[in-house]
Structure 1
């Protein structure tokens, strides 16, 4: 297990110009310096930290971070991983696509209420044209395309088949990646270039999109994932720069449709009375993470890649690694068990 903490004595990155970001610390975008807080400053239970870290190591974690109002409180690495090691975000990176879609809309390049074929042309699915024309960019953001989710990860037109009208069925589907084509077409830039210019470089992230079959997966350091979590926690603002439109982000982190209360625009939402999960049409009663704060919204990726944000606790929590238990696409029992141990630290 490796602990890495970097401190900067310069507190000039804290923004006090906007009530939404007052008191939030933003690390510099040109260095690895990052201010810290101690457990004692926050009156957290330092005696419970080791149990949390032991659990994370036992559960195949590579890295773990807790930010409080932007400052690092806990940063730990396991099993040979360190602060410069890249790891994949898996579906936690869907929220990067959400962010870029909102940025492009704010620039007037697209409208999420328009049909997808307005940007990438007709025939991008094998659905009848009148059914394809029902699918808007917002349907891709909210997982309500109506396309058959049982046919695997292939997003070629022949594999994108009609099963229900757009908006009538919620199903977790990799067809969301077509939004990357929409943004590229609308901006006149390739996806990576637009992403790097409009988001990555503006907040000091590292990393790159690596091709994986028909779609790309984002790889970065843990701190880069934490930077994106911090940007989202700060309502899309980095210091004085509003990067993700605040009103759009507010829509993204609230229920986006009436089929799955616990889903926004690729963000998972705690505190709802029911939820649905990938690869099933069953509606489950209860909250996603019963022992987590009700206001948590999360980016959840295959094999337990996690970004949790709890505004009421001023927290951004990051976990990267291999599957804690069995391979999974998003939620697992690990989420709740982890939050039981985080709560012990906080309370």
Structure 2
């Protein structure tokens, strides 16, 4: 296996809570207690850099760096409160920006809700909801592909076709047995929209809005783009979703995903072929990883400069949603390509975390 330092990103999830003082005569809220902004309001509480003890002198250098890399929105939450909210390169707080493949995490989460509500089981064949003949495979080959394979990029469909995004049956060709190899196959992912829609008996967008988006006060919309859909929202909406996952699917006192087993499986290594991948989430801190567009495995962490327990949604042109449970951080970066024009993880992740560390440590 080859060594490729500083290439990609994202990591694992394990949430930890604060200890309590058994001798206290009354409950005193911890400074580390998570804050959740109101669902139907633009209000978002803030904390100052001095209050949390970060290095204030490094804030402006960090913002200058992200601006120089084509960033349009950059947010840092600590314990749910807004510490940094910056916009530039022609955009502002109400700008709707594309998530690109970072939105795969929205689909993984929504699939978990559908399973929890009894509409589907991720171990079922996906053709139960897509119908027979959604591929060019034989019936037996197609029956072997499960929803879980779509979530983990292990369908075995041929990723070397001319258009990796094409979801027409003639583009979905047998290459390997399911779960025998990992490859970042956009067409196989995109079919999850149809799987969820077929299972719940409603269009995906409406189900997503009702069960996830509206529950946490997000705004945004899915836009068809060729064979797939892109999600657009403002940066605060991405931060809301990051905060929901920081709290393992619970928004304040409202449970959005009532399935801890699914959440844990979604945010930990899902298969043996790419240790840095869960259910459409990227995971840091693993001993090896594979990246989009590649068939090679590389030794080392996805993002060496980032905390080991980081999990992330990563999209083309460096859309970043970092969630760090051990530090109760959510960090959002949206904007233009920072220099490599890759599908998701890039060396920018490691460079950016090098700058972030100067500020938060």
Per the shorter chain, which TM-score range? over 0.9
Q: Which residue of 1 aligns with 2:74?
A: 64
Tell me what 1:222 maps to. Answer: 235
1:238 is the counterpart of 2:251: yes
Residue 247 of structure 1: CA displacement?
A: 2.1
Contact 1:150/1:279 (8 A) holds in 2: no
Measure, in 1, the Cα distance between the counterparts of 2:311 and 2:265: 12
Aligned to 2:90: 80
2:338 corresponding residue in structure 1: 324
Q: Deviations over 1:235-267 (max 9, x none)?
A: 000111111232211110000001100000010
**Partner in structure 1 of residue 192 of structure 2:** 179
* SS, match of residue 273 in structure 2: coil
In the alignment, is residue 158 of structure 1 matched against residue 170 of structure 2?
Answer: yes
Which is worse superposed, 107-116 or 184-193? 184-193
Structure having greater relative contact order (Cα 8 Å, sep ≥ 6): 2
SS in structure 1 opposite 2:262?
Answer: helix
User: Deviation per CA, 1:127-175, whole angstroms, max 9, x where unpaired?
Assistant: 2221111110000000000011122211111101110000101000111
Describe the superposition over 1:109-136 as per-residue Cα deviations: whole angstroms up to 9, x where unpaired: 0000000011111111112221111110
Q: Is the 8 A contact 1:289 1:335 kept in 2?
A: yes
Give unmatched runs, 5+ long, in structure 2.
1-19, 21-26
Structure-to-structure mapping, 1:1-347, within 5 angstroms: 23-151=33-161, 152-174=164-186, 175-244=188-257, 245-347=259-361
Counterpart Cα distance in 1 of 2:151 and 2:271: 10
Equivalent residue of 2:312, what SS?
strand
Runs of 4+ residues deviating >3 angstroms: none
Counterpart secondary structure, 2:243: helix
RMSD (Å) for aligned C-alpha atoms: 1.4
Q: Where in structure 1 are there 5+ consecutive unaligned residues?
A: 1-15
Deviation at 1:326, TM superposition (A): 2.3
- State how far apart, in whole Å, the 1-side matches of 2:63 and 2:285 are: 26
For these two proteins, the number of residue pairs brought into alignment is: 329
DSSP 3-state at the match of 1:216: strand
Q: How high is the TM-score relative to the length of structure 2?
A: 0.89
- 2:237 alignment partner, SS class: helix
